[in-house]
Structure 1
Amino acid sequence: MPSRARSALVLTSTAALAVTLAAGAATAAPVAAGSTAAACVDTSATLPYEESFLARTEAQQLIAGGGFDDTVAAFREALCGVGSAGAAATLVKEQGAALWRLAVDRVQGRVDTGGWLSAGDDRPLYWARLAMVADLRRWTPDFELTAAQRQQLIDTMDRVLRGQDDIRFPAADRITRTLVTGFDPFTLNRDVRQANPSGASALALDGVTVKGPNGPIRIEAALFPVRWRDFGQGMVEKALLPHFRPGKKQVDVFATTSQGRVGRIDIEHYNGAWRAGFGDNEAVCYRGIAPIPAGIPTVTPQPQWTVSTHPITAMVKAGTGPFPVYDNTQVTEVPGDTPIDPVTTTCPAAPSPGTVRADGPTPGSQARAGGGGNYLSNEIAYRATLLRDAVGLDAPGGHIHTPVLQGLDASKPQELTNPTFEANRAAINAQIRDLVLVAAGTVND
């Protein structure tokens, strides 16, 4: 197995190649593993809310615990050898792609990065990505870099290091192409040690091929941030659209996933257009109808509700693991003629009152919560299924809410993992995998 130092040097070599190929680049000198000094990064500059959590000891321990501390240091040093905005763009794409593949290989047991956290932990990738984004934000190159160019570099890193550019399905016949999405950790203000089992499941499934009842099932996966602004800018649709359009590599089944309720798994039957009332990883709230950006295929007029096309009955009855699985048909609605309140981004946003219905929405009603609530879990399900309908994709698809990942002791705030926490993640991962395979196994029945 490669060592942690070896993993870091692999990425350093990738960075050097990127710098060499880009126009105007200066070749970066080799970087010793573990080096942290980088004169071109102003570490005194103030970081925005989400990245400010990097100052916490736990965040740095989670990077090191995954064996990614040398990787982050190598990226920081590589920035100092970049001589142009074009070279920086190449560096970000190359290093971002390399770290995503390294993270997937680590979770799936193909590489040992040398960290002390378990291979299945999703948190090292989250914090390493955040650290690299912070370095881009505080980078002081010796050439002119506009604010727009810097933001484009950050956006590219955000996308590439979540695997959104790495979704590659084979075009062969009789392969069930299955797309799974997960999320970053969130509510860091409550507990900076948070993990997200949906993200861990996505890493564990990316690129996996499994023998199914009707032929091979190929799974590709990607992650998404817990941030309203990315969704409003169309990140979900831009990532999914190339794989939802007709063609030989069009998906046959998809599942968006997120962390949901304690002790249970919910297949969310209905998704609502309403977003409301809870702060994201940037401490921003949003209350109003989910905006669909210009240029994105959609249904007009924008529907209040979308519906899962998962084989829910089969998934509920499949006996996939220790957590009970439910067909969650609950929604919250208001009458269709209710005036729509002005949009607000102030936290805390005002509550969204309405009538809770156990058996789905009333025809003509307005959404105030889908089965998955009115946070980003509901919204990724809404956006994915709305896009499905807009492009005419005939495929099983919808949202799976994982159980809450429990096990960390609140009375031991320095404890980053323990056997109970690890066992709970493994159990959730296994059951989500089996549920995805049940859905995929119904294709071509």
Structure 2
Amino acid sequence: MKLIAATAVGASLVLMPGTADAGPAPLAGPGGPAGQCYDRSAPTTYEETRIDTPAAPGGVQVPTTLVQVGGFTPYVERLTRELCEVRSVKQADKLLQTRGAELWRTAVERAQGKRWMGSIERYDDRPLYWSRLIGTRDLRQWKPTFQLTDTARAALVKTFEYASRGIDSTDFSSSRTVTRVLVSGFDPYQLNGEIRRSNPSGASALQLDGQEYQVGDRTVQIQAVSLPVTWSGFNLGYVEDTFGPHLTRNSKERADLIMTISQGGRARMAIEQWAGAWRGGSADNNNEGTPEVVPQVTNWPQPQPNPEFIETTLPYQQMIDAGTTPWPTALNPRICEWTGNTRPDPAKVSCHDNGPSPDAQAQAGGGGNYLSNESMYRSNRLRLALGATDVPGGHLHISSLVYPQNPLDVIDPAFASDRAQTIEQTVALVKAAGAAVS
């Protein structure tokens, strides 16, 4: 293991091998504790196969190392062990809800410095990501003592996912003196080329979840979730199930602002003016992707037809005027479109900053046509369908990260400092948006 000591704003230090009190190595292979109730030859998702990614020559196995040095080994091993003791679907659902919520709550408390665990600085989102993946992998390979249908197993995976992503814990105060801000970040992605990837948007979500601050005589409350980087997850309604309960007209916990957040270009913070109705089909974390119009969901109201573009209603000027640092913040008006009913001819795409043409068919919003664009599109499509036009909504792309040059370093001081600064600026921008609507 070659972990370089790293410092960040308000963060703990990375300790060298032998000093981390993180418990035994986490489960990684076909053996391990409670192996008798798992079929390690059973299929998993492509994303889950990365848990066993071989180390670079002379290096560590990054996924399981991050779980260990993050202090999450006991949580991973306990769930693996407890699943073997479950005797019914109902009991499994209760266990996964409890353990998933505990995993999310622990990650939030660790990120915000309320709980000291592991040996790497608190801004790191990767231990949560890999711990969750080990849990879902175990669920797919679990051999319970009772009959478990594919449908029931998929429902259990969703229970664990929603709990461990914070989707089930976005409770706000119903007080009339509270301003409610609901935001989302993302998992790490593009891991085939760089297994060490972090996602500063997901790390920002951990910093933001449960935060409260005063603006005059009002209290701003923030709730946050982490979304998957999978087209299939979006098809299942993860975005709509996150934002929908807080956009319905009669909700006592109705949001006053919604914002999706993702990693974008280097050294810039872009408030996207437009989201488009087209998914480009770039490979997701499961190595899947098909170019197509963003599908509608069946369990929430949807506009008919799909709007081609949706414009932000975030208080972007107040966010810009907040003067956050270190990266410049600006509104990005870029779109790419087809006109004359020419979609999907790649030769007919036009990109510009002039807003959609009268006969536009979306090819990309300002942030492209990947899942970041789709998170803005889906959340705001639902906002419009529910008539929540008084609730500002939009998307913030934040600066991407630069990884240690030495491929054997999981983290180094420059990487940790860069990530911390980007996260702190993201927090400041969200707070500026919350203050603007208060």
Does TM-score exceed 0.5, indicating one fold?
A: yes
Instruction: Indicate the SS of the match to 1:73.
Output: helix
| Distance in 2 of aligned mates of 1:7 and 1:419 | 25
Q: 2:362 aligns with which of 361, 364, 367?
A: 367
Distance in 2 (alpha carbons) for counterparts of 1:353 and 1:261: 25
Q: What corresponds to 1:268 in structure 2?
A: 272
Cα drift, residue 48 of structure 1: 2.3
The residue type equivalent to 1:180 in the other structure is V
Whichever residue aligns with residue 288 of structure 2, its letter is V
Q: Alpha-carbon deviation of 1:408?
A: 2.2
1:4-403 matched pairs, under 5 angstroms: 36-56=33-53, 57-113=61-117, 115-213=118-216, 215-246=218-249, 247-339=251-343, 354-393=349-388, 394-403=390-399
Alignment identity in percent? 40
Distance 1:336 1:438 in 2: 40
Residue aligning to 2:401: 405
Residues 43-77 of structure 1: CA distance to partner in whole angstroms, max 9, x if unpaired?
34343210000002111001111111121011100
- Where 1:165 maps in the other structure, the secondary structure is helix
Conserved 8 A contact 1:276-1:352:
no
Letter in 2 for 1:127: W
Q: Distance in 1 between matches of 2:285 and 2:307?
A: 27
Match of 1:437 among 410, 431, 434: 431
Q: Deviations over 1:266-307 (max 9, x none)?
A: 000011000013100010012010001223212222110101
Cα distance between partner residues in 1 of 2:281 and 2:87: 44
Q: Distance in 2 between matches of 1:218 and 1:431?
A: 18
Deviation at 1:121, TM superposition (A): 0.5
Aligned to 2:27: none
For the aligned residue pairs, the C-alpha RMSD in angstroms reads: 2.0
Residue 424 of structure 1 corresponds to which residue in structure 2?
Answer: 418
Q: CA deviation at 1:150?
A: 1.1
Deviations 1:23-50 (A, max 9, x none): xxxxxxxxxxxx8343212234343210
Cα distance in 1, alignment partners of residues 347 and 239 from structure 2: 24
SS at match of 2:62: helix
**Per the alignment, in what secondary structure is the counterpart of residue 39 of structure 1?**
helix
| Contact 1:274–1:289 (Cα < 8 Å) also in 2 | yes
1:440 to 1:373, Cα distance in 2 relative to 1, 3 A: same
2:194 partner SS: coil
1:181 and 1:257 in contact (8 A); partners too: yes
CA contact (8 A) 1:187 1:194 kept: yes
- Distance in 2, Cα, partners of 1:71 & 1:352: 51
Q: In the TM superposition, what is the alpha-carbon distance from 1:314 to its structure 2 partner?
A: 1.9
Could you tell me how far apart the structure 1 residues matched to 2:421 and 2:105 are? 24
| Separation in 1, partners of 2:399, 2:194 | 17
Match of 1:20 in 2: none
Partners of 2:343 and 2:375 in 1: CA distance: 25
Contact in 1 for aligned 2:277/2:294 (Cα 8 Å): yes
Structure 1 residues 233-242 or 192-201, which shifts more? Answer: 233-242
Q: Equivalents in 2 of 1:443, 1:293: separation in Å?
A: 29
Could you list the runs of 5+ residues in structure 2 that have no partner in the other structure? 1-19, 25-31, 54-60
Partner AA of 2:199 in structure 1: N
Shift, 1:317, TM fit: 2.4
Report what 1:414 is aligned to.
408
Q: Point out which structure has higher relative CO (alpha carbons under 8 A, 6+ apart).
A: 2
Separation of aligned partners in 1, 2:134 and 2:254 = 34
Distance of 1:352 and 1:259 partners within structure 2: 28
Could you tell me how far apart the structure 2 residues matched to 1:111 and 1:166 are?
A: 19
- How many residues are treated as equivalent by the alignment? 405
